[in-house]
Structure 1
Amino acid sequence: MPSSGSEPAFPRRGGVLHAEQVPIPAIAAAVGTPTYVYSANTIRARLLRLEQAFASVPHRIHFAMKANSNLAVLRLLHELGAGVDIVSGGELFRAREAGFIGRDVVFSGVGKTVREIEQALEERVLLINVESEAELVTIDAVAGRQGVVAPIAIRVNPEVTVDTPHAYIKTGEKGQKFGIPRDDVARLVAMVHELPHVALRGLGMHLGSQIGNADPMRDALPRLLSAIASARADGHAIAYMDVGGGLAVPYHADEGDADVDDYAEIVLAAARETGLTLLLEPGRFLVAEAGALITEVLYRKHAAGKDFIVTDAGMNDLVRPALYQAYHRIDAVESIEGTVVADVVGPICESGDFYAKDRPMPDVSAGALLAVQTAGAYGYTMSSNYNSRPRPAEVMVDGDRFAVITERERLEDLVRHERAHLQWRTA
C-alpha cells in the first residue's frame, strides 16, 4: 500500500537500495535495465510542500511538464489538484490524455505554431503566454478566425542576474530569447487595446532553473509588479500573476534543498500586494528527486592508467551530464566494500557518453546494478534513439507496489515510421 512520503524516495535497507518499499533488484529482475524508477510518494510530498507554503493566498501550481511528461506522472499530479504548464501541442495532447482540461493549462514557449495556437483556443486553455510582438498579432488573428477572444498573459523578461549551474538554464537575463524585454512591455500592453480578439488576463516571468536562493526573485518581482500596475492603469482586467518555477533541487549529497520558505515569503508579499491569483510553474522541484535511472554494469576496463565502469545506460538515456556537464550521484544498489576512482561511461559511440569522470565509486563488478539519482526531471523526456538504441522502460512505485508506466521500446519501434521502399511523388 502507499506510504506516507516522509522518507527518501530511495532508502537503503539491509544494504539494498529500495524504491520506497520495493527492492530495486526486484524491479530490475522483472523489467530489465536501463529503467527509470519514480517514487509516487515523493511527488506527493513535494507538491504538498509547495501547497502548504502558498496556502495563504489564492494560487494554482502548474507543473512544467517538460520536466517529465509521462502520463502516469501527469495523472498523479492531476489527481492531486495541480495544473500544467506546457510548451507544445504535443504536451497539450499528453495533458488531455492524463485528464487535464483547458482551465488547467498555461501555454508557454517562444515558437508556438498557428496550429498549436488553434489547438490551445479549441481547448480553452487558461492562458497563452505571449513572448513576442509577432506572436501577439498571430494569436489575435487566429482567435479572430475562430470567433473567440484569446486569454493571454505577457511574459516579462525582468533582465536580472540569475546564478544557475549552467548558462543554458538561465531565462530571465537580458539577451535571452524568452519573454518580452521589460522596456517593451508597456508598448505591447497598449497594443492589446487595438487587437479585438485578445484579452490581457495576466503578466508573468520565469527566471531560470536550479535557482538556489531567493535573491533573483527579490530583484525581479518589483519589475513584474511595476508592469502589473501599469497594465491595470491602462484599463486591463488582470487576474493572474505568474512567477514561473526554477526552485533548485540537490544533486550533490552535501547540497541543501531550495529555501522554499524564504522564496514563499517574498512571493506571498507580492501576491498580497496585487490581490491577484498566483500561478507557480515548478517542474524539476516536483519530480527530480523522485526518479532514478537503474543501470547494469556491463564491463570493468582499465586503460592508460584509468579505470572505467561501463554501463548499459548511455547518453541517449540520460543526456544531462553530456549536455550540461551535470552532476548526478551514483549509488551501488547493493552495498559493496571497497572503492575505486573511475569514469562511469555508457555504450554510445561518443566521448561525451559518460555519467561521471574520475569519481570515487563502489568497486563494482560486471552484473552489479547502479542507481543514477535525481533523474526524475529531464531524463526520459530528453532521451533519444541515438545509435539506434531503444529507449528505456519507466516504472512507478507506490509504497510496496510497482507498475510499468512506459514499456521498453523494441527494435521494431526504431523503424516503425520509416520507409525503405519508397513511393515517389512529383510536385
Structure 2
Amino acid sequence: MDHFLYRDGRLMAEDVELAAIARQVGTPVYVYSAATLTRHFRLFDEALDGLDHLVCFAMKSLSNLAVLKLLGDLGAGMDVVSGGEYARARAAGIAPGRIVFSGVGKTRAEMAAALTGGIRQFNVESVPELMALSEVAAGLERTAPIALRVNPDVDAGTHEKIATGRRHDKFGVPIARARDIYAQAARLPGIAVVGIDVHIGSQLTSLAPFEAAYLKVADLTRALRADGHDIRRLDLGGGLGIPYARDNAAPPVPLDYGALIRRTVGDLGCEIEIEPGRLIAGNAGVLVSEVLYLKEESGLRWVILDAAMNDLVRPAMYGAHHDIVPLTQSAPGAEGIVADVVGPVCESGDTFARGRPLPPLAQGDLVALRSAGAYAAVMASEYNSRPLVPEVLVQGDQFAVIRARPTIDEMLARDTIPAWL
C-alpha cells in the first residue's frame, strides 16, 4: 500500500497535489510520503510483537536525514554500511545502541569512529576484518560487540546483482566454518561475541529461502551455545520484496514473515534484529518528471523525460520495472500509446521502459515513476553534470524540501584548478 492516489483526476501525495510540488520545486523531483514510511515500519514492528526485537532500517535504501529522524522517532534502529551512514544516523538523532554496522569492507577509521561514538554491534564478515577490529578495539581500550555474518549457501532466487547468501557471493563466512571462527573470536582482545548475522539477498518474493537460512541459523545457535558462546541476538537481515508493478503478484507480507521468524528461531530466547529497507521505503516514494519531447521515427515512438539514468539508475542497472503514470488522469476511453520511455543522457542505457503501454501523453505533461523510494535517490549521480534531484517529504497537507537541488555554480565550486594550469 502507498499514499499516492488519484483524487478528482489528480495524483496526490497524501493530501498534497504532486503537480503543485513540481511547480514549486521543479522537475525531476523525488517525493516521499511520511504516512507510507510510518505504516510500513509499523507493519514490521507489529509482526514481531511479543518477541524481544529491534527493526533496523537499512539506510542504504534511503538515507535522507529527515526520513531517518521520522523512522527513528517511531523506534527504528539503523543498519549502516559505511562511516558516512553512521554519521548520518547519529546526525538524525539515532542512539548508538540502536545502530548496527554491516558491510564487507569496514576500514579501521570507520571501526574507530563507531567504537568511539558508540555502536550496538558490528556484523563481521571475514577473519581479516575480525582481526583488524580486535586490534582497533584493543588499541582504544574498547570492547567491540560482534555478530559473525554467516553465509548459509541459500539461493534466494532474486536478481544476480542483489543475491548475497550463496557460497560464491562475497558476503560473510561459510556457515560450516562458523564454529571455528567464533572460537577464534572468543580468544581475541577487544571482542565480545553477542550474536549471529545472516542476510541472503534483496527483493525476495518467497519465504522459502528465508526459512532455509533461518533453520540453519537455529542449528548454529544451538551448536555455538553448546561451545560456550553467549548467543543472545540473531540479526536476520532484510530482503523482503515489493511489487514494482501494479499487476504483479504481491510478495509475502511482514505478518507472514514475522510468523516464519517465530516458527524457525522464536524458541531460542534471542533478541531478534531485522533490517528491512526496500519494503519500508520503496513504495513510499515517486520520481516526478516532465515530458520534454515525443519523438516518432520509422514507426517507433519515444517519450523523452527530463529525468535520466543518473537520477534513477535501477532500470539501467538491473533492468528494473517502475510503473509510469501521468499526474493527471486521462479521460475514460482515451486512446493510449506504446513507447520507449527514455531520459536525455547520452547513453542508450538511459531507458526507463521499452515498448511500454502508456496513456496519451503530450509535451509538458508530468509523470510519476512509482516505487522510487528505495535505491533511487541514494544511487543518483551528477553524470553529464546534471544536478542531483531534490527530495521532498510530504506529511498530510504539508510538504518540505528535505534536500535542495544544487545550482550549477555550487557544483562547479567543488572543483579546483591547480595554480600551474
Instruction: Report the TM range for the smaller structure's normalisation.
Output: over 0.9
The one-character-per-residue Cα deviations of 1:235-291 (angstroms, maximum 9, x if unpaired) are 222221111000111101112142323321121123422100000000001010000
Work out the CA distance in 2 between the residues paired with 1:422 and 1:277: 58
Work out the CA distance in 2 between the residues paired with 1:25 and 1:231: 57
Superposed displacement of residue 301, structure 1: 0.3
Question: What residue in structure 2 maps to residue 386 of structure 1?
Answer: 383
TM-score (norm 1): 0.96
Superposed, which structure 2 residues align to 1:59-98 within 5 Å?
Answer: 59-98=53-92
C-alpha contact (below 8 Å) 2:196/2:235 kept by paired residues = yes
Superposed, which structure 2 residues align to 1:26-175 within 5 Å?
Answer: 26-164=20-158, 166-175=159-168
C-alpha contact (below 8 Å) 1:213/1:259 kept by paired residues = no
Give secondary structure in 2 for the equivalent of 1:258: coil
Work out the CA distance in 2 between the residues paired with 1:390 and 1:243: 37
Give secondary structure in 2 for the equivalent of 1:360: strand
Give the partner amino acid of 2:244.
Y
Work out the CA distance in 2 between the residues paired with 1:261 and 1:76: 22
C-alpha contact (below 8 Å) 1:155/1:180 kept by paired residues = yes
The one-character-per-residue Cα deviations of 1:203-262 (angstroms, maximum 9, x if unpaired) are 010011111111001111121112212222222222211110001111011121423233
C-alpha contact (below 8 Å) 2:43/2:255 kept by paired residues = no
Superposed displacement of residue 294, structure 1: 0.2
Superposed, which structure 2 residues align to 1:228-243 within 5 Å?
Answer: 228-243=221-236
Number of residue-to-residue matches in the alignment:
417
Deviates more, 1:335-344 or 1:85-94: 335-344
Question: What residue in structure 2 maps to residue 329 of structure 1?
Answer: 323
C-alpha contact (below 8 Å) 2:218/2:265 kept by paired residues = no
Superposed, which structure 2 residues align to 1:10-409 within 5 Å?
Answer: 10-164=4-158, 166-255=159-248, 256-336=250-330, 337-409=334-406
Give the partner amino acid of 1:186.
R
Give unmatched runs, 5+ long, in structure 2. none
C-alpha contact (below 8 Å) 2:345/2:384 kept by paired residues = yes
Deviates more, 1:374-383 or 1:233-242: 233-242
Give secondary structure in 2 for the equivalent of 1:387: helix
Superposed displacement of residue 40, structure 1: 0.2
Give the partner amino acid of 1:242.
D
C-alpha contact (below 8 Å) 1:155/1:203 kept by paired residues = yes
Superposed displacement of residue 423, structure 1: 6.7
**Taking structure 1 as reference, are residues 8 and 148 closer, same or farther at Cα in structure 2, changes over 3 Å only?**
closer
Give the partner amino acid of 1:360.
P
C-alpha contact (below 8 Å) 2:29/2:289 kept by paired residues = yes
Give secondary structure in 2 for the equivalent of 1:404: strand
The one-character-per-residue Cα deviations of 1:169-227 (angstroms, maximum 9, x if unpaired) are 11111110011111221111110122021011010100111111110011111211122
C-alpha contact (below 8 Å) 2:211/2:264 kept by paired residues = no
C-alpha contact (below 8 Å) 2:206/2:251 kept by paired residues = no
The one-character-per-residue Cα deviations of 1:314-336 (angstroms, maximum 9, x if unpaired) are 00000000000000000011112
Q: Percent identity?
A: 43
TM-score (norm 2): 0.97
Give the partner amino acid of 2:337.
V
Superposed displacement of residue 8, structure 1: 3.3
C-alpha contact (below 8 Å) 1:385/1:391 kept by paired residues = yes
C-alpha contact (below 8 Å) 2:293/2:304 kept by paired residues = yes
Give secondary structure in 2 for the equivalent of 1:251: coil
C-alpha contact (below 8 Å) 2:155/2:200 kept by paired residues = no
C-alpha contact (below 8 Å) 2:154/2:166 kept by paired residues = yes
Work out the CA distance in 2 between the residues paired with 1:125 and 1:357: 45
C-alpha contact (below 8 Å) 2:165/2:201 kept by paired residues = yes
Work out the CA distance in 2 between the residues paired with 1:237 and 1:182: 18
Is residue 417 from structure 1 mapped to residue 414 from structure 2 by the alignment? Answer: yes
Give secondary structure in 2 for the equivalent of 1:314: coil
Work out the CA distance in 1 between the residues paired with 2:2 and 2:126: 42
Give secondary structure in 2 for the equivalent of 1:351: coil
Work out the CA distance in 2 between the residues paired with 1:230 and 1:388: 54
C-alpha contact (below 8 Å) 1:35/1:394 kept by paired residues = yes
Give the partner amino acid of 1:411.
I
C-alpha contact (below 8 Å) 2:284/2:373 kept by paired residues = yes
C-alpha contact (below 8 Å) 2:101/2:123 kept by paired residues = yes
Work out the CA distance in 2 between the residues paired with 1:142 and 1:108: 17
Superposed displacement of residue 160, structure 1: 0.9
Give secondary structure in 2 for the equivalent of 1:11: strand
